[in-house]
Amino acid sequence: MIKQQLQLKLSQKLSPQQIQLMKLMQLSTLDFEQRLQNELEENPALEKGKDQNELIENDAEEDNDLNNDINNTEDINIDNYLSDDEIPSYKLHSNNYSSDDNEKTIPISGEIGFHQLLKSQISSLILDTEGTLIAEFIIGSIDDSGYIRRTIQDLIDDLAFTQNIFVEKTEVFNVLKKVQTLDPPGIAARSLQECLSLQLARKPISIPQIMASKIINEAFDLFSKKHFIKLQEKFDINEELLKESLREIEKLNPKPGGALSGMIQNTHIVPDFILKIENETLSVSINSRNAPELHVSNSYTEMMKGYKESINKNKSQKQAIQFIKQKLDSAQWFIDAIKERHQTLYKTINAIVAHQNDYLLSGDEKLIKPMILKDIAKKIDMDISTVSRVANSKYIDTPYGTKLLKSFFSESLTNYEGEEVSTLEIKNILKKIIQKENKKHPVADLILSQKLKEKGYKVARRTVAKYREQLGFSVARLRKEL
């Protein structure tokens, strides 16, 4: 039996414009300039620079006297595109800058995501079209350390769900093996053991290299636990050969993803914000390259005016005006989106600078205050995700160097004096303790916790372990040296 029912449902969906705005928000200055250039090339209704009509007396009154009773068969309100009663929203101009305010600092070298570099090497692999798509997907699944942290089955499921590619386990495995031949050695490994094994396999053959490969492939558990005597007994080797083999392993990179930063050429960071100190007062400004002057093409508005004044409108004219309307709407939205991006960047950076005023005045990292995304989001009355997009991709030029905004964020802990201190301060102290330890008898996490306690910081052993891992240090037994 067929029934008809009326159901009310409340749902939230992001519009295409909102999605595009979020993407604009997280672009760096160089990427933003490229995006702007692409938009200018694709939309002839959008132009860069000052509108020439604004440099002379505008004739707003004359435009407003146009006949409002012209027959409009397409529901297009032409007046919306011709009104000069006030400066339209699509005419964006930043009043924060003069012609002399253009950023003249020299861009500094910096790192970019290494996935693009890996993808550029795919052409060296012998793959068909589907194999290339699988390789690109595998590369996209590599984390910052250079590892694949997912099983083959997970990759297969995601390929089917997101790429509509249905493949067998052996096919994904074979492509993965080919991706693992890319540079740097050890990339796309699924474990530390596989990472070290891949690197050793590409080193010149020698006795220590062969023995090092045996240790990693056949006795990784003994190696990881530093059971050196058992390794000697297992492979029947003397202490000297064991030392030479271990030295071969020590030359390997446990995090090959980090090595890619040194391979990237001709990449630059252009600061999004400029911080200056004048008379013990902080002054922050947005790089003028983030606030371009844009306007809608005068020729397009003239076309709209001509269409309005025309008495006889044929089919081709109506089609043309629909195209013009589409381009004008797109141009107007894009400029409004840039204006909103600029306002969001301005509010966010001012809130961050105000929160970290003491640190930014002195440059002393001990004065960095605890600050999480929620703190800034609450101050500027915006969503945490918006602040995250700004903090994760924007740089600020300070008297102490160009820094990623994300580096100003940290959690808080309370010391024995009842003061809130940044976890960055504790991590710096922890780093110094580990660097100065006796490598033959490295300090365990429990002892590290006690040493921090002696310095006035109550940090649990588990928290110490978390900070140690974030700093890139292994557990004590793995830091042990012969």
Question: pLDDT tens, 206-223?
Answer: 999 999 999 999 999 988
Mean pLDDT of 37-44: 86
pTM over 0.75: no
Mean pLDDT of 165-169: 89
Q: Which residue has the higher pLDDT, 237 or 293?
A: 237
Report the range of poorest mean pLDDT among 31-40, 149-158, 286-295, 356-365.
286-295
Mean pLDDT of 108-134: 76
What is the model's pLDDT at position 350? 92
Mean pLDDT of 7-14: 56
List the one residue out of 100, 9, 123 whose CA is nearest residue 288. 100
At 25, the pLDDT band (50, 70, 90 cuts) reads confident
At 44, the pLDDT band (50, 70, 90 cuts) reads confident
Mean pLDDT of 232-251: 90
What is the model's pLDDT at position 383? 87
What is the model's pLDDT at position 209? 93
What is the model's pLDDT at position 51? 58
What is the model's pLDDT at position 66? 31
At 36, the pLDDT band (50, 70, 90 cuts) reads confident
Distance CA 197, CA 175 (A): 18
What is the model's pLDDT at position 195? 93
Report the range of poorest mean pLDDT among 14-28, 184-198, 386-400.
14-28
Report the range of poorest mean pLDDT among 106-110, 267-271, 356-360.
106-110
What is the model's pLDDT at position 469? 83
What is the model's pLDDT at position 86? 43
Q: Which residue has the higher pLDDT, 446 or 416?
A: 446
What is the model's pLDDT at position 268? 66
Q: Say yes or no to pLDDT of 230 above 60.
A: yes
Average pLDDT, the chain: 78
At 348, the pLDDT band (50, 70, 90 cuts) reads very high
What is the model's pLDDT at position 241? 92
What is the model's pLDDT at position 113? 54
Mean pLDDT of 239-261: 83
Q: Which residue has the higher pLDDT, 341 or 267?
A: 341
Mean pLDDT of 399-403: 85
Distance CA 270, CA 340 (A): 21
Report the range of poorest mean pLDDT among 134-143, 321-330, 430-439.
321-330
At 99, the pLDDT band (50, 70, 90 cuts) reads very low
Mean pLDDT of 320-331: 80
What is the model's pLDDT at position 260? 58
Q: Which residue has the higher pLDDT, 41 or 420?
A: 41
Show Cβ contacts of residue 213 under 8 Å, excluding neighbours closer than 6 positions.
197, 200, 201
Mean pLDDT of 432-442: 85
- The packing angle between helices 16-25 and 384-391, to 10°, is 40
What is the model's pLDDT at position 16? 64
What is the model's pLDDT at position 318? 75
Domains of the chain: 14-104+270-409 (no CATH), 115-262 (no CATH), 412-479 (1.10.10.60)
pLDDT in tens, 168-204: 999 999 999 999 998 888 999 999 999 999 999 999 8
Mean pLDDT of 298-312: 69
